[in-house]
Amino acid sequence: MRELRVSYNTRRGRVEALSDVSLALNEAEVLGVVGESGSGKSTLGLAIMRLLPRYAKVERGEVIFNGKDILKMDEESLRQLRGREIAIVFQDPYSSLNPVTRIIDHFAELFREHGYNYSREEVLRTAAELLEKMGVPREKVLDYPHQLSGGQRQRAAIALALALNPRLLIADEITTALDALVEAQIVDLLREVKKEYKTSMLFITHNMGLVAQLADRVAVMYAGKLVEAGETGQVIRNPRHPYTKALLTAVPRIGGSRSLQPIPGEPPDMRNPPPGCRFHPRCPLASEVCKRETPALRSIGDRLVACHYA
Amino acid sequence: MTGLSHATTREILSVSRLKVYFPLKRTIEEVLARKQKVLKAVDDVSFSMEEGSIMALVGESGSGKTTIARTVVGLVNPTSGRVLFRGRDVFSLRGEEFKEYRRKVQMVFQDPTVSLNPRMKIGEQVKYPLDVNKVSTPEQRREKAIKTLEAVGLTPPEDFYNRYPHQLSGGQRQRAAIARALILDPELLVADEPISNIDVSARAQILTLLRELKDQYHLSILYITHDLSSAWAITDKVAVMYLGKIVEVAPTTEIFKEPLHPYTQALMSAAPILGEHTPGKRLVLRGEIPSPINPPPGCRLHPRCPFATETCREREPEILPIGKDHTVACHLYSKS
């Protein structure tokens, strides 16, 4: 992904959701994308899939997948790509599951769309096996989505996404709506998927704790910009960007100090983002230069950081 | 203002053997057979809270924690059992006395986008409880609203007074909702998942605010959450709920150091811990929380519990005291 810039045209003016973001994802790697609402992390996932709403505009940049720019593909190549090469799972499983369609028919449609001539029995067997692998009882294959529990629905959505063994799975806040215990189960499942299928994953979340458990590398986003990226363990142990640091200390650690260290201030108004470094109004290190100049993303060792003081 | 404020006990809230059942929609057969199925949202729950403390009710969705919150503030009537506020049975209060109770116990809801009226100015909404209760003069009410906005950190308050909810960030909206709950000078604040719908960076702000308000206003706070790290940070005592029952209660530092109930242990080990790449020893429960319509017999956790025995399948565990202020409802700890 190179220099991707995406804006939304809203009634109250132009909002730049992604500002020249460049990111690379290697084969069989899990990249955690961490950010709060408005950071642009979901726009990122949608842009890769070319699923952005009509009022969105890709102003510049490219998304190279296997040597081809997804943003320049025609409809037919896109159709081939989606589901087979890249699949996406959303926070709400109903975004991928149709409430009036049985689980099995979701699989049947996917196979048909991609030119597999499976008999009903073959679809049934394949779908049931996949569900079972993802931890959903086989017999649920004949059920409608609402007959599954919340965790099962999300597992079914993951099974469907993985049915054609895509090379990239985009998971957009897929555990956010789930309870803590189910969330942990889904993260375990993704870890197994990574091990077994060697699927690359873009794991989009606001929860640094989940990233720590799953991702090889992490990219931290703030107000449409990439502020820091690096190997997960290192970023967590030694964050270089003040926002990453603040995000890590803002979550109280169980068993640790009970003093809270909130991030001061409010998230920026994206219609009118602060000049210079977008984090400067909330940053303890901010100085004159931060108000004036946008810090470039620099590599420091194996880390990418966009901060004048890193 | 008489009655409620004169009790001398240090205990501000006590819930005893509380049951809240909701009737389910009946099928024709059930109507004909005059049967009524119920959902046991809260099933025989007791706990107590000390004045000036923050207590957490922790559990997953379907555990009954929100139903307890709604019962405590008087939005839901209990099926049986009692809620005592400063020693007096809340549901025996009538008329003026019940209204006074309602003023003293206020609630903050999960999603400020829903709990605030989108068409009403922030200041007017914060002031509204004073208008309804016709407290003092209009000028004094406005003044108090401005003071309260300032107390929750919405500064400059005159500016925020005239804004609408959509002009505020999620964290600011929740501050406004807290201001509205505070304006009648309550003694007990019931906060139902107040940080789960706001951004990570604003969460610690809201938690800090709650802790400051507790000291400043001498508030007691019943804090409902599924987020263990926030319970660790601000509470004095934790009660863990599963399928309508409290399974364990203990002082916060103790329950996190030494969780006894298998469900508490599972919750703790599922909490993502930063800095550890591979999670250590974990207690994993099978499956998911079942529907509270047909809870399992015996101990409700037994179908999912790795330690379940014959006894667990048959007999409901009693609440056992383990040390000072620590209780657990699990057969593993019974002496026999």
Q: What is the mean pLDDT of each run of 10 residues along chain B (336 residues)?
A: 50 96 88 88 96 96 93 96 96 94 95 93 96 92 97 96 95 96 97 92 94 94 95 96 97 94 92 54 82 91 95 95 94 83
Q: What is the DSSP letter of A82?
A: B
pTM: 0.90
The β-bridge partners of B106 are B189
Query: Per the omega criterion (within 30 degrees of 0), is the bond before B78 cis?
Result: no
Q: What is the pLDDT of residue B276?
A: 45
Q: How far apart are CA A86 and CA A75, in angstroms?
A: 15
Q: What is the pLDDT of residue B281?
A: 60
The answer to whether the CB of B210 falls within 8 A of the CB of B190 is no
**Which residues does chain A have with pLDDT short of 50?**
none
B237 interfaces chain A, CB cutoff of 8 Å = no
Quickly list DSSP for A201-216.
Answer: EEEEES-HHHHHHH-S
Q: How far is CA A54 from CA A16, A81, B180, B199, in A?
A: 15, 20, 39, 27
Cβ separation B271–A263 shorter than 8 A: no
Q: What is the pLDDT of residue B274?
A: 61
Burial B43-69 (b: 16+ CB within 10 A, else e): bbbbbebbeebbbbbbbbebbbbbbbb
Report the sign of the C-alpha dihedral through residues A297, A301, A303, A308, in that order: negative
In 3D space, the residue among A64, A71, A66 whose CA is nearest the CA of residue A6 turns out to be A71
**For A222, nearest residue in chain B (alpha carbons):** B201
Q: Strand A2-10 vs strand A13-21: parallel, antiparallel, or unpaired?
A: antiparallel
Q: What is the pLDDT of residue B336?
A: 54
Phi/psi at A253 (5° precision): -90, 125
Residues near B72 by Cβ (< 8 Å), separated by ≥ 6?
Answer: B13, B15, B83, B90, B105, B188, B190, B222
Cβ separation B204–A252 shorter than 8 A: yes
The answer to whether the CB of B304 falls within 8 A of the CB of B336 is no
Q: How far apart are CA B234 and CA B229, in angstroms?
A: 9
In 3D space, the residue among A246, A231, A185 whose CA is nearest the CA of residue B200 turns out to be A246
Q: What is the pLDDT of residue B7?
A: 45
ipTM score here?
Answer: 0.85
Sheet holding B80-85, edge to edge: B38-50, B11-23, B80-85, B88-89
Q: How far apart are CA B221 and CA B223, in angstroms?
A: 6
B114 interfaces chain A, CB cutoff of 8 Å = no
The answer to whether the CB of B148 falls within 8 A of the CB of B182 is yes
* Amino acid at the residue A55: Y
Distance of CA A21 to the CA centre of its chain: 14
Residues near B316 by Cβ (< 8 Å), separated by ≥ 6?
Answer: B297, B298, B299
Burial A165-182 (b: 16+ CB within 10 A, else e): ebbbbbbbbbbbbbbbbb
**For B264, nearest residue in chain A (alpha carbons):** A181
B293: helix, strand or coil: coil
Q: What is the pLDDT of residue A75?
A: 93
Q: What is the pLDDT of residue B273?
A: 66
**Contact list, A266 vs chain B (CB under 8 Å):** 169, 171-172, 202
B238 half-sphere exposure, CB direction, 13 A CA radius: 29
Q: What is the pLDDT of residue B291?
A: 84
**Interface subset of B 188-227, CB within 8 angstroms of A:** 199-205, 207-208, 211, 226-227
Q: How far apart are CA B46 and CA A209, in angstroms?
A: 33
Distance of CA B6 to the CA centre of its chain: 25
Provide the greatest CA pair distance for chain B: 67
**For A235, nearest residue in chain B (alpha carbons):** B275
Cβ separation B226–A36 shorter than 8 A: no
Quickly list DSSP for B242-279.
Answer: ETTEEEEEEEHHHHHHS--SHHHHHHHHHS--TT-SS-
Q: What is the pLDDT of residue A194?
A: 93
- H/E stretch holding A226 reads strand A225-231
Q: How far apart are CA A138 and CA A156, in angstroms?
A: 11
Q: What is the pLDDT of residue B279?
A: 44
H-assigned helices in chain A:
41-49, 75-81, 103-113, 120-133, 150-162, 180-197, 208-214, 232-237, 242-250, 288-292
**For A136, nearest residue in chain B (alpha carbons):** B287
